[in-house]
Structure 1
Amino acid sequence: MKRKNFITLCWISLATSLFFFFVFTEEKTLDNFMLTILISFMYSFLLGIGNGLINDFLNKKFPWSEATTKRAVISIISILIANFILVYFCNYMNFVVFQKSATTEEYFSGKYNYINWFTINIALLISAFLHARGFMEELKKTSKKEVVEQKLIAKSANAQFESLKNQLDPHFLFNSLNVLSSLIDENPKQAQKFTASMSKIYRYVLEQKDKELVTVEDELEFAKTYCDLLKTRFEDSVDFIFDVEKEDLRRFVVPLSLQLLLENCIKHNFATSAKPLFIRIFSENDTLCIENNLQVREQIKESSGIGLANIVQRYSLLTKRNVFIEKSEDYFKVKLPILSVKPNVVSDITDDKDKAYERAQKRVKEIKSFYGNLISYCIVIPFLIIINLITSPDNIWFFFPMLGWGIGVVAHGMSVFAIGKNWEERKIREILEKRNKQ
């Protein structure tokens, strides 16, 4: 047991013993005072430690965050059984052993059933408070852990996306300069035209590389310009076909994806006038496809693999839909998902964090409201019972507020932990899953 809990139980025991000694004890002697302290400490420590050990054991075996419903059911059953046994034992020690006001036969004959029932209810209220406090402590730990994890995920995703985008600028420039270098030797006039076209294309690269998505229409216009640049070098050795549906033009793809894939087509395949390379760009079943006839060239040096890997990783950060690759003896095809909604990695993470934080704040307020209600119930009802038994023991009226308020507490708890929130969270998950599939 923690020192803090031990000190708390000591203060509770002392306060309880003083209350019962001055209010209910007729002969205020030192012996009676010590007996009252002994009995108070027995009830406090047996019930407190017993329920505390049960709570600690269940926290290890069935944490609230991992199995809330299962934990709630097991907690109810365990505290009912444990408090029933502990109360009967404490009352037996009190009335039979310490006060000697009854024999063992009298105690178990039913004479003390009312006192046992009353004490069990008090013990259950205290136990409910302990379990509620344990739930709140674990909720705080889980919330802090989730906040830290979400921050790490957000920073990691943001850094990863920035790293992927920063690959595009030097990658394109390096490959373009390689092409220009080849053209200078092969055809100086074409090299001049290539240089002029490259400046326009590079401007697009600089404008688009910082965006998460661009429209299919913008990407196609850029791809056509880039294809003209390639035609400048390869002339009739390469042929391009564009066949994209009009309804797909306003949808979105990853920027510079076509340029990177066109580069791959040229890099990995040979193209001659006798055996031209045919590259077709078309839309098919919510995907933008780039297909070429397979004319694999021997690689002098190993490819860096930046192009296709970059596209796959950027798509993985934006959507759950995958980039598909098809390869046969005759052709090679890459299918890029066309997205209907334009997500933003950084803003989405920020928005999701803000919304999650707002939901968490609202959730914590609801939970605090419930536990405030429960704690008030645990404090007020026992005092009403004591007042009722002192002032009019023949007229039992505390049942009515205890039952009415108890039903209200149960209904409040159901709305917070069971019916309302489970349904709402399930619907939120369904909506998010539908959005991520797009």
Structure 2
Amino acid sequence: MKRKGLIILFWVSLGTSLFFFLFFTKEKNFHNFLITLMISSMYSFILGFGNAFINDFLNKRFPWSETTGIRTVLSVVSIIIGNFILVYFCNYMNYVQIQKVATTESFFSKEYATTNWFMINIALLISAFLHAKGFMEELKKTSRKEVVEQKLIAKSANAQFESLKNQLDPHFLFNSLNVLSSLIDENPNQAQKFTASMSKIYRYVLEQKDKELVTVEDEIEFAKTYCELLKTRFEDSVDFIFDVKNEDYRRYVVPLSLQLLLENCIKHNFATSSKPLIIKIFSDNDTLCIENNLQAREQMKESAGIGLANIVQRYALLTRKNVFIEKSEDYFKVKVPILSSKPSTVNVKETDENESYEKAKKRVKELKSFYGNLISYCTIIPFLIIINLIYSPKNLWFYFPMLGWGIGVASHAFQVFGVGEAWKEKKIREIMDKQKNRDNGNLR
């Protein structure tokens, strides 16, 4: 037990000893006060340490955040059995060993049954409150941990997305300069035309590279212009065929995806007038396909893999739809998803954060209401029991408010922790998680 818990037990012992000394002790002297303080301390520390041990043991073996249902059952069973044993032990030490007002036989007879039963109920109420408090603290820790993890994931995703986009600018420039360098030696006049056209294309690269998605129409227009540049260099060695459905033009793809894939085709295949490289760009079942006849050239050095890997990773950060790659002896094909809507990672995160905040706010309100009800029950019912036993011990009327209110508290607990809206949300979340795991398994 922590130092804070020991201090609380000390003040509880002092408070209860003063209460019993002032209202239930006939001879008010220092000796009787010490005896009262000793008895109160015995109850407080034995019950406190016993319940703390049970709670700590269950926290290690069955954490609230991981096994809520099992933990609830085990907590109820353990506090009933544990407090039954602890209260009987404390009462035995008090009445038989310290005050010596009862023998062992009379203590375990019906004579002290009411006293033991009363003390067990008080201990159970206090223990239930302490376990509920422990659950609340565990819930807060888990919630804070989840919030921190989600923020880290969001920051990591944003940083990764920015890093991927920043690859596009130098990558395009490097490859274009390589083409220009080759043209200067092969055909200076074509190199001049290439330089003029490259400036127009590079402007598009600068405008679009920071966007998450662009329309298929814009990407196709850019790809056609880029293909004209490639034709400037390779002439009849490369041929391009565009066959994209008109209805797909207003949909979205990752910017510069076609340019990167066209570069891959040129980079990994040889092209001659006798064996031209034929590249087809067409749409098929919500995908934009780039296909070329396979004429693989020997790689002098290992490829950096920026182009295709960049597209795959950017799509992974925006959608669950995968980029598909098909390869045979005759052709190589890449299929990139065409998206109907234009998602925004920032807006999605902000919406999720707002929804999470509202749900958390609602949850805290529900928990606050329940624990307020529980605290009131644990405070008022023992007071009513004490009044009943003092002024009318033969007429035990405290059963009615204790049972009636207790049923209300139990019902409230089921609404907050077990059934009702919270239970529905929990089940919906479980089903969604299972579906998500199933979908991820199918994608792999």
User: Could you say whether these structures have the same fold, taking a TM-score greater than 0.5 normalized by the shorter chain as the test?
Assistant: yes
- Does residue 371 in structure 1 map to residue 371 in structure 2? yes
Aligned to 2:150: 150
Aligned to 1:422: 423
In 1, the alpha carbon distance for the partners of 2:430 and 2:335 equals 28
Shift of the alpha carbon at 1:426? Answer: 4.0
Aligned to 2:114: 114
Stretch of structure 1 that moved more, 113-122 or 236-245: 236-245
Aligned to 2:335: 335
- Does residue 137 in structure 1 map to residue 158 in structure 2? no
Shift of the alpha carbon at 1:256? Answer: 0.7
In 2, the alpha carbon distance for the partners of 1:143 and 1:294 equals 53
- Does residue 163 in structure 1 map to residue 163 in structure 2? yes
Stretch of structure 1 that moved more, 263-272 or 415-424: 415-424
**1:221-300 mapped onto 2 (5 Å cutoff):** 221-300=221-300
Contact 1:150 1:353 (C-alpha < 8 Å) held by counterparts: no
Stretch of structure 1 that moved more, 31-40 or 411-420: 31-40
Query: When the two structures are aligned, how many residues end up with a matched partner?
Result: 437
Q: Flag the structure with more relative contact order, 1 or 2, with Cα contacts below 8 A and sequence separation at least 6.
A: 1
Aligned to 1:40: 40
In 2, the alpha carbon distance for the partners of 1:229 and 1:417 equals 65
- Does residue 21 in structure 1 map to residue 16 in structure 2? no
Stretch of structure 1 that moved more, 181-190 or 365-374: 181-190
Indicate how the Cα distance of structure 1 residues 184 and 340 shifts in structure 2: closer, same or farther if over 3 A, else same.
same
In 2, the alpha carbon distance for the partners of 1:75 and 1:46 equals 18
Indicate how the Cα distance of structure 1 residues 431 and 247 shifts in structure 2: closer, same or farther if over 3 A, else same.
farther
Corresponding residue SS for 1:211: coil
TM-score, length basis structure 2: 0.92
Aligned to 1:396: 396
Aligned to 1:81: 81
In 1, the alpha carbon distance for the partners of 2:154 and 2:113 equals 60
Corresponding residue SS for 2:313: helix
In 2, the alpha carbon distance for the partners of 1:2 and 1:147 equals 27
Shift of the alpha carbon at 1:393? Answer: 2.2
In 1, the alpha carbon distance for the partners of 2:98 and 2:430 equals 59
Indicate how the Cα distance of structure 1 residues 204 and 426 shifts in structure 2: closer, same or farther if over 3 A, else same.
farther
In 1, the alpha carbon distance for the partners of 2:370 and 2:166 equals 50
Aligned to 1:214: 214
Shift of the alpha carbon at 1:425? Answer: 4.1
Shift of the alpha carbon at 1:156? Answer: 1.5
Corresponding residue SS for 1:58: helix
Aligned to 2:183: 183
Deviations 1:141-177 (Å, cap 9, x if unpaired)?
Answer: 2222223222222221111111110110111111112
Indicate how the Cα distance of structure 1 residues 337 and 272 shifts in structure 2: closer, same or farther if over 3 A, else same.
same
In 2, the alpha carbon distance for the partners of 1:429 and 1:174 equals 48
Amino acid at match of 1:170: P
Contact 1:201 1:226 (C-alpha < 8 Å) held by counterparts: yes
Contact 1:315 1:323 (C-alpha < 8 Å) held by counterparts: yes
In 2, the alpha carbon distance for the partners of 1:348 and 1:75 equals 40
Percent identity of paired positions between Structure 1 and Structure 2: 76
Amino acid at match of 1:95: Y
**1:96-115 mapped onto 2 (5 Å cutoff):** 96-115=96-115
Deviations 1:35-78 (Å, cap 9, x if unpaired)?
Answer: 32222111111111100111111111111112212211111111
Gaps of 5+ in 2: none
In 2, the alpha carbon distance for the partners of 1:62 and 1:285 equals 49
Stretch of structure 1 that moved more, 179-188 or 15-24: 179-188
Shift of the alpha carbon at 1:429? Answer: 6.7
Contact 1:197 1:229 (C-alpha < 8 Å) held by counterparts: yes
Corresponding residue SS for 1:49: helix
In 2, the alpha carbon distance for the partners of 1:241 and 1:427 equals 48
Amino acid at match of 1:164: L
In 2, the alpha carbon distance for the partners of 1:384 and 1:207 equals 76
Stretch of structure 1 that moved more, 394-403 or 52-61: 394-403
Deviations 1:183-241 (Å, cap 9, x if unpaired)?
Answer: 23323333333233222221221111111112222222222222222222222221222
Amino acid at match of 2:139: L
Amino acid at match of 1:288: L
Indicate how the Cα distance of structure 1 residues 237 and 215 shifts in structure 2: closer, same or farther if over 3 A, else same.
same
- Does residue 308 in structure 1 map to residue 308 in structure 2? yes
In 2, the alpha carbon distance for the partners of 1:74 and 1:282 equals 62
In 2, the alpha carbon distance for the partners of 1:244 and 1:14 equals 84
Shift of the alpha carbon at 1:430? Answer: 5.8
Corresponding residue SS for 1:71: helix
Tell me how large the CA RMSD over aligned residues is.
2.2
In 2, the alpha carbon distance for the partners of 1:121 and 1:247 equals 73
In 2, the alpha carbon distance for the partners of 1:144 and 1:42 equals 37
Stretch of structure 1 that moved more, 97-106 or 76-85: 97-106
Deviations 1:87-135 (Å, cap 9, x if unpaired)?
Answer: 1111222222222222222222222222222111111111111112212
Deviations 1:356-391 (Å, cap 9, x if unpaired)?
Answer: 233223322322222122112111111111122223
In 1, the alpha carbon distance for the partners of 2:91 and 2:343 equals 66
Amino acid at match of 2:48: G
In 1, the alpha carbon distance for the partners of 2:251 and 2:431 equals 23
Amino acid at match of 2:379: I
Stretch of structure 1 that moved more, 87-96 or 252-261: 87-96
Indicate how the Cα distance of structure 1 residues 92 and 150 shifts in structure 2: closer, same or farther if over 3 A, else same.
same
Amino acid at match of 1:339: L
Amino acid at match of 1:348: V
Indicate how the Cα distance of structure 1 residues 346 and 186 shifts in structure 2: closer, same or farther if over 3 A, else same.
same
Amino acid at match of 1:177: L
Stretch of structure 1 that moved more, 264-273 or 100-109: 100-109
Contact 1:17 1:36 (C-alpha < 8 Å) held by counterparts: yes
Amino acid at match of 1:380: I
In 1, the alpha carbon distance for the partners of 2:254 and 2:198 equals 21
- Does residue 362 in structure 1 map to residue 362 in structure 2? yes
In 2, the alpha carbon distance for the partners of 1:399 and 1:320 equals 59
Shift of the alpha carbon at 1:296? Answer: 0.8
Shift of the alpha carbon at 1:29? Answer: 4.2
